[in-house]
Amino acid sequence: MLSNHTNNSFPETQIETSYIDSFVAVAESGSMAEAARRLNVTPTALAQRIHVLERDFGTRLIVRSGRTVRLTEGGIRLLGRAKRFQNEVRELQAATLGEDFVGGLRLGAIATAVTGLLPAMLASLVQRHPRIDIYIEAGVSRDLYHQVLQDKLDAALIVAPPFAVPKSFTWRALRQERLIVLAPRALASADPLALLGDMPLIRYDRRNWGGSLADQYLQQNAIQPRERFELDALDGIVLLVGLGLGVSLVPDWARAAPLPETVVALAVPGNSPCRTLGMLWPAKSAHGRLLESLLRSDDAATSLR
């Protein structure tokens, strides 16, 4: 608990650091229910924390509108300082506890990383820092990238952006994934380029950075596919290919399990573009040393081979 001694015009206030965390969670999620889920508390308990902050600061911080909330002018002014306060608390914890890390880590990851690379990395992290509390946000690379830039996430495991990362952020490449053609096993001996031109295409979503690489390859090879479906779910694409509904051009991602017997992966000829996965975080983050050590760990390296 932190004490704040002010002049005689104001009463002494004592503010729990967890209440500041609660306010930031509400501000970032825009929902009391979602923030309560992230913090693993009841909505009633969360509302009480916000009420205490408003009482102690002497101003309204949020306004409810149906199921969502918005910040008041006072809440907007508090948010930036609250985030800096969180970073300072984390740095104090790290300095006090030496190599151990205690507290929360907000980590974003694309869907294929959640089931592929991330589990072994998390196991290594928890083994070395058993008191760490990790919140994982699954999403697409472009959204997670902006959440890191906006300080809504501490780090994210994403596809490399198709542009230069700002110098105020750290990027570490972890894995390169060449393009492959997924096809029904009965077509295992067919030419992959011919399959892309002749068979219905189950397209990996072009709006995503990984999917745009596949689209570039098709254009470079003058292939005009017969599109049947387009979706952002590699596991779902595998199921559709296994049902004989078409073929697909996707990155050779780190899979939690082998492809089903009904599906075969065919290498594409030529110098196909690669999808690069890596970790992004602010260069001056209090978690920088933690993330660097995670990416250098033997367990993490094993998971990336």
pLDDT along the chain (305 residues), means of 10: 39 66 89 88 90 90 87 89 78 57 80 89 83 86 94 93 94 94 96 95 92 91 93 93 96 90 92 89 85 67 42
**Around Cβ 123, how many Cβ atoms within 10 Å?**
12
282 and 165, same structural domain?
yes
Give pLDDT, residue 13. Answer: 45
For the chain, first and last CA: distance in Å?
45
92 within a domain of the structure (yes/no): no
What is the CB neighbour count within 10 angstroms for residue 70? 12
Please indicate, yes or no, whether residues 234 and 297 belong to a single structural domain of this protein.
no
Domain count, the chain: 3
Q: Are residues 125 and 235 in the same domain?
A: no
Using a 10 angstrom Cβ sphere, with 0-12 exposed, 13-18 middle and 19 or more buried, the burial of residue 175 is buried
25, 77: one domain? yes
C-alpha–C-alpha distance, residues 258 and 263, integer Å: 10
- What CATH number is associated with residue 32? 1.10.10.10
| Residue 91 domain-assigned (yes or no) | no
| Full domain range(s) for residue 21 | 2-86
- Residue 285 CB neighbours (<10 A): 19
At 40 the pLDDT is 86
State the amino acid at position 7 in one-letter form.
Answer: N
H/E segment holding residue 77: helix 73-97
Looking at the structure, do residues 185 and 204 belong to the same domain, yes or no?
Answer: yes
In a domain, 207, yes or no: yes
Q: Is residue 216 part of a domain?
A: yes
